[in-house]
């Protein structure tokens, strides 16, 4: 049965996709650095410290996370993966978006004209409910339907 | 977010399309962070984007757009350590050198753009811009838009300046506009502590281990640290500065700490004491066992865990002048005690170009270090390990940040000196 969650649309878009889920912080640079350096055609998560995501294909997926963590160097990462065509379809944050993810996603939107849909403040219940592989629909008003 | 008339004009494109694009980025960023408004920057930037490496540095095309529009930061800025190009000092093989040259083929163009956009000078590359020899030292209360996690935490905690943990590129764009969103560490409320970290070790803890223990626990929260003043001078003397720099870098890199307070030591803690704690703060106690267990938990990431160390790199973050003299004395004294003339492991100390220059002016100390075979560089150890061929080497260090981001193996200072002298782990 589908369940609906309401979040705050930061970079709104209507989109659908398959969930990948991390219950710990999402380290952008650690996840994507190897894919960028090797000019990969798919973004396979390279963050060894994240057992839920390590080795998973993140391309076009909907990443469900509490918030982003990691190096301030990650500002350019979102723009790069958007241009390479290996970005996720959306980022769904259960908490308020962190400054590093906010910067990177906005940079991709404004400077690469590649929108990666971003919704935050979906709540702990969202992250407890959503499972990897579930279908997700995101409305441009920040309404997220899981299942 | 509320904008002034002048800011709205920029956003409407009245000062040109490129500045409009920069302002649009800053406004979207501020709105995402739920900032009320923008505030003026009071001081120059420090940015964590020194390389033209894809995924780390901005695209050259973007820098071209900004430079061609004649845009420049409001104040001159400094950058993280320069890309590894002193191949002789770093002792790289021909294969490693070829890979570096390929990886950094855009670097000369990148450096030129940075100068156009407001880089202070050709030597303004270090992750310790706040040391007197380098001179990017914001006064207490100054509003900044810095990145580089170790610099952000130092500026906030030790200098009492105010900056959020900005992402690379956003830092540059904020400094072009000369404004940053009013949120987080820029506000009094955002600087209050939600953790009381009680240090109950029997001796002065290793700052890199202590920082990691704090960072893992509090993540991006603000810790108020008690019990540490037993081991630190109340005035910010060089040994205290060094300790705070090392501890901060570890808690910022291994957690996401952007501000800490140390009771009776850091400026806001001296003024406000425990009033900095929020009513709902949590407590975490760190003792000798906490740090021993943490250190023992670090895996060996070398391809061959039994390998003899190939290289030792110290200076992540870059060493202060005081630390440079300290390492020189300890290495050379240990060599003398062992009846040796030169180090057994290729050893490289990393510091800001201005600090290396100042150190070299002390001919006695520099001569002693040089005779021991130890080398000096102003590049970044982590950048060295970005080269996949270098990352396969058995590298030892005393830096927890360097360990966490690479395959380098961390040792405590005393043990590291024994390795440097004896050549074995």
* A131/chain B closest Cα distance in angstroms: 25
Same domain for B29 and B168?
Answer: yes
Same domain for B290 and B317?
Answer: no
Confidence band, pLDDT 50/70/90 cuts, at residue A70 = confident
Q: Is residue B232 part of a domain?
A: yes
Mean pLDDT of B293-316: 95
pLDDT of residue B386: 87
Domain count for chain B:
3
pLDDT of residue B56: 76
CB atoms within 10 A of CB B250: 30
Mean pLDDT of A113-123: 97
Domain count for chain A:
1
Mark which residues 164-183 of B lie under 8 Å from A by CB. Answer: 164-171
pLDDT of residue B254: 84
pLDDT of residue B234: 79
B24: Cα within 13 Å, side-chain hemisphere:
17
Same domain for B384 and B286?
Answer: no
Between chain A and chain B, the number of residue pairs with CB atoms below 8 A apart is 106
Confidence band, pLDDT 50/70/90 cuts, at residue B360 = very high
Query: Which of A5-9, B10-14, B125-129, B216-220 shows the lowest per-residue confidence on average (mean pLDDT)?
Result: B216-220
A93 is written with which tokens? 């944050």
CATH number where B44 lies: 3.30.499
Q: Is residue B330 part of a domain?
A: yes
Same domain for B247 and B168?
Answer: no
pLDDT at B399 over 80: yes
Same domain for B262 and B334?
Answer: no
pLDDT of residue B51: 80
Confidence band, pLDDT 50/70/90 cuts, at residue A29 = confident
Confidence band, pLDDT 50/70/90 cuts, at residue B380 = very high
Among residues B182, B208, B240, which one ends one of the domains?
B182
Same domain for B24 and B135?
Answer: yes
CB-CB: which of B32, B169, B184 is closest to A76? B169
Q: Is residue B304 part of a domain?
A: no
CATH number where A43 lies: 3.50.30.10
Same domain for B133 and B265?
Answer: no
Q: Cβ B149–A71 below 8 Å, yes or no?
A: yes
Q: What is the mean pLDDT of chain A?
A: 94
B252 part of contact set with chain A, CB < 8 Å = no
Among candidates B48, B103, B152, B121, which has minimal Cα distance to B353? Answer: B121
Q: What is the ipTM of this complex?
A: 0.96
pLDDT at B129 over 90: yes
Question: Can you give the residue range of the structural domain that contains B276?
Answer: 192-296
B54 part of contact set with chain A, CB < 8 Å = yes
B220 part of contact set with chain A, CB < 8 Å = yes
Q: Is residue B301 part of a domain?
A: no
A12 is written with which tokens? 């709104």
Same domain for B322 and B177?
Answer: no
Q: Is residue B254 part of a domain?
A: yes
Among residues B150, B182, B214, which one ends one of the domains?
B182
Containing H/E element for B349? strand B346-351
Same domain for B21 and B150?
Answer: yes
Taking only the tens place, the pLDDT of each residue in B268-289 is 999 999 999 999 999 999 999 9
Taking only the tens place, the pLDDT of each residue in B150-173 is 999 999 999 999 999 999 999 999
Same domain for B275 and B341?
Answer: no
Mean pLDDT of A112-118: 95
Same domain for B144 and B235?
Answer: no
Question: Can you give the residue range of the structural domain that contains A54?
Answer: 3-146
Q: Is residue B302 part of a domain?
A: no
């Amino acid at each position: 049965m589908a369940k609906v969650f309401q979040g705050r649309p930061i970079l709104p878009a209507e989109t659908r996709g398959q969930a990948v889920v991390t219950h710990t912080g999402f380290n952008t640079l650690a996840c994507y650095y190897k894919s960028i350096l090797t000019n990969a055609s798919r973004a396979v998560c390279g963050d060894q410290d994240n057992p839920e995501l390590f080795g998973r294909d993140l391309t076009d997926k909907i990443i469900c996370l509490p918030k982003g963590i990691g190096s301030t160097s990650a500002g350019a990462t979102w723009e790069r993966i958007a241009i390479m065509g290996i970005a996720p379809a959306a980022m769904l944050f259960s908490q308020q978006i962190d400054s590093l993810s906010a910067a990177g996603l906005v940079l991709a939107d404004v400077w690469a004209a590649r929108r990666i849909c971003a919704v935050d403040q979906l709540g702990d219940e969202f992250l407890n409910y959503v499972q990897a592989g579930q279908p997700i629909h995101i409305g441009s008003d920040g309404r997220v339907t899981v299942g | 977010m509320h904008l002034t008339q002048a800011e709205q004009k920029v956003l409407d494109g009245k000062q040109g399309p490129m500045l409009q694009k920069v302002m649009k980025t800053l406004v979207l960023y501020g709105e995402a962070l739920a900032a009320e408004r923008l505030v003026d920057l009071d001081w120059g930037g420090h940015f964590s984007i020194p390389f033209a490496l894809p995924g780390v540095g901005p695209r050259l095309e973007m820098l071209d757009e900004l430079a061609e529009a004649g845009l420049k930061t409001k104040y001159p800025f400094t950058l993280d350590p320069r890309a590894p190009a002193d191949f002789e000092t770093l002792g790289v093989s021909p294969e490693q050198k070829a890979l570096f040259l390929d990886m950094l083929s855009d670097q000369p163009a990148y450096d030129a753009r940075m100068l156009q956009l407001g880089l202070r000078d050709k030597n303004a590359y270090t992750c310790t811009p706040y040391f007197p020899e380098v001179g990017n030292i914001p006064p207490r209360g100054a509003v900044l838009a810095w990145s580089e996690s170790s610099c952000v935490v130092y500026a906030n905690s030790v200098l009492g300046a105010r900056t959020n943990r900005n992402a690379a590129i956003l830092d540059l764009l904020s400094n072009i506009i000369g404004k940053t969103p009013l949120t987080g560490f820029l506000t009094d409320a955002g600087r209050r502590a939600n953790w009381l970290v009680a240090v109950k070790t029997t001796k002065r803890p290793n700052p890199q281990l202590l920082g990691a223990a704090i960072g893992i626990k509090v993540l991006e929260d603000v810790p108020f640290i008690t019990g540490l003043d037993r081991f630190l001078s109340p005035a910010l003397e060089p040994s205290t500065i060094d300790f705070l720099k090392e501890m901060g870098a570890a808690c910022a890199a291994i957690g996401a700490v952007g501000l800490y307070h140390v009771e009776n030591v850091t400026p806001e803690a001296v003024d406000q004491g425990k009033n900095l704690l929020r009513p709902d703060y949590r407590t975490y106690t760190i003792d000798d066992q906490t740090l021993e267990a943490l250190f023992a938990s670090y895996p060996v990431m070398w391809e061959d865990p039994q390998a003899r160390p190939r290289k030792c790199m110290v200076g992540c973050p870059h060493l202060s002048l005081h630390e440079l003299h300290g390492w020189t004395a300890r290495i050379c004294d240990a060599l003398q005690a062992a009846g040796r003339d030169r180090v057994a492991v290729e050893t490289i100390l990393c510091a800001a170009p201005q600090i290396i220059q100042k150190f070299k002016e002390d001919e006695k100390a520099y001569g002693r270090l040089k005779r021991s075979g130890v080398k000096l560089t102003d590049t970044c150890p982590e950048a060295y390990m970005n080269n996949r061929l270098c990352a396969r080497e058995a590298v030892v260090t005393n830096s927890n940040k360097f360990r966490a981001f690479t395959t380098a193996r961390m040792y405590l200072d005393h043990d590291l000196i024994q390795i440097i002298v004896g050549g074995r782990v």
